[in-house]
Amino acid sequence: MPADGPLPPPEIALENDYVRVSRDKTPFAEVATDRVIVAIAPLSFIAGDALQNLERGEFFVFGPGDTYQLPGDASFFEVAIKPDHPPVKEPPEIIPPAKNTMLYEGERFFIYEESLNVGDVRPRHSHCQRVEIRLNNGPCSSRHSIRRARPCSPASSIGASR
């Protein structure tokens, strides 16, 4: 570890052919694509002409054409779905996951929360390609996942538990 303390997290948390996930930066704020802001700490920002407030773990969805401005000292992830991404790969068998809570279901993607209690297990299930943001690491973890809504069946994300 450097003498000045730990290194800051990288600005790009994940980038592939499908998404770019930026940390504490908004390179896609004015790009005509689907975007999601996930708060890592309490966050106030401007979406369009309105002030929005998010608590840790809450999110705000932006469609193509929506704009936003976040403060420079904010702690968040910006998840941008690339408009020209290749087709999403579907698993050979769709097995719905238990213990997921649907938080947002849009035309092109959906967001669910997966929460497991200490010692909890999940039965076998399948996955489509997704972005997973873990809000907590440890014996009791909660995470939000952002998935493309199609071609994977929405039923593969239905279920609830906390």
Q: Which two tokens stand for residue 129?
A: 């390609």
Contacts by 62-69, CB closer than 8 A, 24 or more apart: 62/34, 62/35, 62/36, 62/37, 63/34, 63/106, 64/32, 64/33, 64/34, 65/32, 66/35, 67/29, 67/30, 68/26, 68/29, 68/37, 69/26, 69/29, 69/45
Please report which confidence band the pLDDT of residue 153 belongs to, taking 50, 70 and 90 as the band edges. Answer: very low
Task: Give 52-63 pLDDT, tens digit per residue.
Answer: 999 999 999 999
| Domains of the chain as residue ranges with CATH | 12-81 (2.60.120.10), 100-157 (no CATH)
**Does pLDDT of 7 surpass 60?**
yes
pTM for the model stands at: 0.76
Q: Which residue has the higher pLDDT, 114 or 23?
A: 23
Average pLDDT, the chain: 79
